[in-house]
């Protein structure tokens, strides 16, 4: 493809869009029972991506220019140190006997129980909250705290009720040798 001297090679030209689209983007469900929705840019394969991305996280193709409202896709995965792997398609509350007293956004989070023989982990220790395209970690006033480990930074203890945006590869250490590794975060 020839580019004129002004073109940066990253811009998708209107004339080239027709060749990129082999089928229309998936229809958007207006049914609120289908779960939360997000504003997304999709590729020709229909993969939803945050509107700030230029290329598809799943297949690498260029994204269509117009954002559309879609059912929120899985935002990543959480791997527990026990080996359990959970899709991040809904919020989670993790603890030795997790419970919720209030529900954020009308959607009940999944309760994930972890063993804490030493009692280091609080009943409801942390929440992994999905907000739009963001995966957030919130310490739920855990008695012994939560440590966030991120590549290139020193480990950081979260304050009670502190919330942090999670990045791909982050690890949350809860105590009693239980940790949560966040993978494939968009």
Domain segments of the chain: what residues?
A: 14-71, 77-183
Tally the C-alpha atoms within 13 A of residue 148's C-alpha that lie toward its C-beta.
23
Topology (CATH) of 77-183: Tumour Suppressor Smad4 (2.60.200)
| Residue 104, Cβ density class (10 Å: 0-12 exposed, 13-18 middle, ≥19 buried) | middle
Share the mean pLDDT of the chain.
86
- pLDDT single digits (tens) 33-54: 568 999 999 999 999 999 999 9
pTM across the whole model: 0.79
Top-confidence residue, 100 or 147: 147
More confident residue, 77 or 4: 77
Sorting pLDDT into bands at 50, 70 and 90, what band is 9?
low
pLDDT at 29 > cutoff 60: no
Query: What was the pLDDT predicted at 7?
Result: 53
Q: What pLDDT was estimated at residue 6? A: 52
| pLDDT-based confidence at residue 107 (cuts at 50, 70, 90) | confident
Residue 15 has a pLDDT of: 52
**What does the alpha-carbon distance between residue 90 and residue 30 come to, in Å, rounded to a whole number?**
19
How many Å separate Cα 164 from the centre of its chain? 12
| Structure confidence by residue, pLDDT tens digits, 147-172 | 999 999 999 999 999 999 999 999 99
- Region 21-26: what's the mean pLDDT? 44
């Amino acid at each position: 493809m020839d580019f004129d001297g002004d073109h940066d090679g990253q811009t998708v030209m209107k004339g080239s869009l027709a060749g990129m689209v082999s089928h229309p983007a998936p229809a958007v469900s207006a049914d609120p029972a289908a779960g939360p929705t997000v504003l997304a840019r999709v590729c020709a394969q229909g993969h939803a991506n945050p509107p700030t991305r230029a290329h598809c996280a799943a297949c690498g193709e260029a994204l269509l220019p117009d954002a559309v409202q879609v059912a929120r896709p899985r935002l990543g995965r959480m791997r527990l140190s026990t080996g359990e792997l959970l899709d991040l398609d809904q919020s989670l509350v993790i603890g030795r006997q997790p419970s919720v007293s209030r529900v954020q956004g009308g959607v009940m989070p999944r309760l994930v129980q972890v063993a804490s023989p030493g009692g280091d982990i609080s009943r409801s220790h942390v929440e992994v909250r999905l907000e739009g395209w963001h995966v957030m970690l919130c310490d739920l006033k855990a008695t012994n705290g939560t440590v966030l480990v991120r590549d290139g930074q020193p480990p950081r203890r979260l304050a009670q009720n502190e919330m942090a945006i999670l990045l791909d590869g982050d690890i949350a250490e809860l105590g009693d040798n239980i940790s949560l590794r966040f993978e494939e975060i968009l």
